[in-house]
């Protein structure tokens, strides 16, 4: 069964460093998403991406964040200058369509900012 994959599974970085989290969505999906879950808190939407542009973003997704689909398979989330409060589990998801469509989630990348 097709699945969303994410790399790395864990990443530790120093405050102020740039990190890139990678995702490979399901191959025939057109909509891509990033969510995050700070330890002990809710899963929060960050951004959705369709047709090579951001289609929706939350207030969390500020100028420190960016997303890209550099090729036909990868979908990345970049955090330019990490802060302590960026420590969280980051989930990538994809869907074939959007309204009411099932979003399929990857296993997540646990990011720890020291």
39 binds other proteins (CB under 8 A): no
Handedness of CA 91, 34, 68, 88 (dihedral sign): negative
61 binds other proteins (CB under 8 A): no
CA 91 to mean position of chain CA atoms: 5
What is the distance between the alpha carbons of residues 86 and 114, in angstroms, rounded to a whole number?
10
E-only strand ranges, 14-113: 19-24, 31-37, 43-50, 53-57, 65-68, 75-79, 88-95, 104-105, 109-113
Residue 86: CB minimum distance to other proteins, A = 19
Q: What is the DSSP letter of 114?
A: -
Residue selected from 7, 13, 58, 66 as contacting other proteins according to rule CB under 8 A: 58
Q: How many residues in the shown chain lie near other proteins by CB under 8 A?
A: 25
Residue 19: CB minimum distance to other proteins, A = 19
42 binds other proteins (CB under 8 A): yes
Residue selected from 25, 29, 106, 113 as contacting other proteins according to rule CB under 8 A: 106
Among the residue ranges 14-22, 29-37, 64-72, 78-86, the one whose residues contact other proteins (CB under 8 A): 29-37
Number of residues in the chain: 114
Q: Which residues bind other proteins (CB under 8 A)?
A: 4, 31, 33, 35, 41-45, 48, 55-56, 58, 91, 93, 98-100, 102-108
């Amino acid at each position: 069964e097709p699945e969303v994959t994410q790399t790395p599974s864990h990443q530790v970085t120093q405050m102020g460093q740039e990190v890139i989290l990678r995702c490979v969505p399901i191959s025939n999906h057109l909509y891509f998403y990033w969510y995050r879950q700070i330890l002990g808190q809710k899963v929060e939407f960050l951004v959705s991406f369709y047709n090579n542009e951001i289609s929706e973003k939350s207030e969390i997704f500020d100028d420190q964040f960016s997303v890209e689909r550099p090729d036909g398979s990868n979908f990345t989330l970049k955090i330019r200058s990490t802060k302590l409060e960026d420590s969280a589990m980051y989930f990538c998801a994809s869907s074939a369509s959007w309204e009411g469509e099932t979003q399929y989630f990857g296993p997540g990348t646990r990011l720890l900012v020291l």
